[in-house]
Amino acid sequence: MKIGIIGYGSMGKMFLEKFIETNIVEESNLFVSNRTYEKIMDLKNKYPKINICKENTYVAENVDVIFICVKPIEYKEVLSEIINKLKENCLIVSLNGSILLKQLEQICINRKIVRIVPSVTAEVNHSVTLICYNEYVNDTDKNNINILLKCFGTVSEVHEDEISMASDLTSCMPGFIGAIFKVITDEAEKYTKIEKEKIIEMVMETMYGTSKILKEKNITFDNLVDRVATKGGSTEEGTKIIEEKLPEIINEIYEKTLEKRKIISEKVQINFWIKYKIRAHCT
């Protein structure tokens, strides 16, 4: 397959590097464009065989799968620009978490469209990439896109209505975990003379080991708590506090993030409709 990437920000860069590093896609089958051409000019020095394109339309004309990695405000312009240049069976992959399939279909009429939500942990090959499809995507297309995305970790298909909550559990979770453990390490300083760097090192290594034992030994969270929080011990006292007080905080996190995501999504969707209708009227 020939793969196109429009937009060379953090996501576009990650996709390009992962495809090449894992040998999922040959360099010569990659086509890349960016609004600022100067930003991608030097890519040839590192990847001499990839196709650096000045025009998005050149990418569109040559690929079987195209990843749209631009800002939400740029989506309708990019899609309107390339739609008539795409191959008939080209798979359009949207990385925007706020624009719905039905909106993309207003421009990409009768086209195969995929929405995905990647995670920053894809950089270390351990992530869950969320994915959903429109009705035109067949089983062969699904298999092809899954092969591409597995270089990031696990691919999980979800209904489009569930993407917001699933995003909290995958894409947002590294940020939540980082914030929680920053509080844990900050508060630990009040009870010890151990240096901050050493506290962080202890916690990070324990986080890593905990993740491995859960995954590799195939045990549940409850099993792990039972193994460590022995009856009458100090760990049991700590877990009681967590079970008593943490649910309220977690519920508030979910409520606030879902509420904020809804507001952002509505704004993006309104903007998408307005800009697309203006463009359609002008043409």
Residue limits of CATH 3.40.50.720 in the chain: 3-158
Q: Per-residue confidence at 130, pLDDT binned at 50, 70, 90?
A: very high
pLDDT one-digit tens code per residue, 176-212: 999 999 999 999 999 999 999 999 999 999 999 999 9
- Which is it for strands 65-68 and 91-94: parallel, antiparallel or unpaired? parallel
Residue 281, pLDDT above cutoff 90: no
Would the pLDDT of 158 be above 90?
yes
CA 280 – CA 283 distance, rounded (Å): 5
Q: The CATH number of 3-158 is which of 3.40.50.720, 3.40.50.1000, 3.30.70.1090, 3.40.50.150?
A: 3.40.50.720
Q: Report d(CA 214, CA 209) in Å as an integer.
A: 9
What pLDDT, on the 0 to 100 scale, is given for residue 265? 79
CATH fold of 173-264 reads ProC C-terminal domain-like fold (1.10.3730)
Q: Of 14, 50, 18, 11, which Cα lies nearest the Cα of 147?
A: 18
Q: What is the reported pLDDT for 269?
A: 73
* CA–CA distance, 165 with 140 (Å, rounded to integer): 28
| pTM across the whole model | 0.88
Quote the pLDDT of residue 277.
53
pLDDT bracket for residue 266 (50, 70, 90): confident
Over residues 88-110, the mean pLDDT reads 91
| Weakest-pLDDT range from 2-6, 109-113, 146-150, 265-269 | 265-269
pLDDT digits over 171-183, tens only? 999 999 999 999 9
Closest CA to 180 of 188, 170, 190: 188
Give the E-state strand segments of the chain in sequence order.
Answer: 3-6, 30-33, 51-53, 65-68, 91-94, 112-117, 127-133, 153-157
**How far apart are the C-alpha atoms of 181 and 196, rounded to whole Å?**
13
CA torsion sign for 160, 161, 163, 169 is negative
Question: Over pLDDT 70: what percentage of the chain?
Answer: 95
In the chain, where does the domain assigned CATH 1.10.3730 lie?
Answer: 173-264
